[in-house]
């Protein structure tokens, strides 16, 4: 999953639904992009899910304007970020993307294409 700002909304619905069902073994990874740390919507809930479901959900942030000492990424989402934090392209890989047009058109889609994700592996809200 790649989300930017309020693009977290559909991702959060899926995360809640999947982690609520103990029989669902879907593995999810999220890169969540925002302007500043204060802009991270639902941060407490996302981090709690990552803590309580580590085998099912991993979380990574990137900020345009990170504070000093920020332990995650900074700047636009890149191919390197995707390669490190999302599953590799494959028949069971499905990447969901939701966010502002600049994130989708200038960062997420070009990076996913560069890494070999095909159109049938990517859904953009």
Specify whether the CB–CB gap between 32 and 46 falls below 8 A. Answer: yes
The end-to-end CA distance of the chain, in Å, is: 11
Q: Is position 124 annotated in a ligand binding site? A: no
Give the integer Cα–Cα distance in Å for 99 and 107: 11
* 48 Rama class: left (phi>0) / alpha (psi -120 to 50) / beta: alpha
Q: Are 50 and 59 in contact (CB under 8 A)?
A: yes
Q: Which residues contribute to the annotated binding site for FAD?
A: 9
Q: Which residues contribute to the annotated binding site?
A: 9
């Amino acid at each position: 999953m790649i989300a930017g700002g309020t693009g977290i909304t559909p991702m959060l619905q899926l995360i809640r639904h999947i982690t609520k069902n103990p029989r669902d073994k879907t593995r999810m990874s999220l890169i969540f992009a925002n302007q500043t740390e204060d802009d991270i919507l639902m941060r407490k809930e996302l981090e709690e899910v990552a803590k309580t479901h580590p085998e099912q959900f991993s979380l990574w942030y990137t900020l345009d304007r990170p504070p000093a000492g920020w332990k995650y990424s900074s700047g636009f989402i890149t191919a390197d970020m995707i390669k490190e934090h999302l599953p590799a392209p494959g028949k069971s890989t499905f990447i969901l993307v939701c966010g502002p047009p600049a994130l989708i058109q200038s960062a997420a889609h070009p990076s996913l294409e560069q890494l070999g994700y095909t159109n049938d592996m990517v859904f953009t809200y």
